[in-house]
Amino acid sequence: MSEDLPAGSGFHVDSAPCVGAQALTRNIGGTWHGRLGRCTCPVCEVPRALIVEIGNRAPIVTCMKGCSGRTIISIARARGWLR
């Protein structure tokens, strides 16, 4: 019996620190546009209301409906969207 490992098995995930915002955007189900992401805000649930930008330590989130960024980040962490 020989080992039968399929070529390119598994999926490779590149996660440099600076892509936290991109990963968060993807995890929420939004789309990334060059330097920022747009997605549905997990607090008010308005599509494309949430803008995600790359921050120094954590993604910067801004809801156009005025939801608290701190609340959005804590929800993202709780749901495993953000490390």
- Which residues are near Zn ion by CB under 5 A? 41, 43-44, 63, 65, 67
Torsion angle in degrees (nearest 10) through CA of 39, 69, 82, 57:
120
Nearer of residues 17 and 55 to Zn ion, judged by Cβ: 55
CB of 74 to Zn ion, least distance (A): 13
Helix 20-28 crosses helix 69-78 at what angle (to 10 degrees)? Answer: 80
Nearer of residues 52 and 67 to Zn ion, judged by Cβ: 67
CB of 41 to Zn ion, least distance (A): 3
Give CA 61 to chain center in angstroms: 10
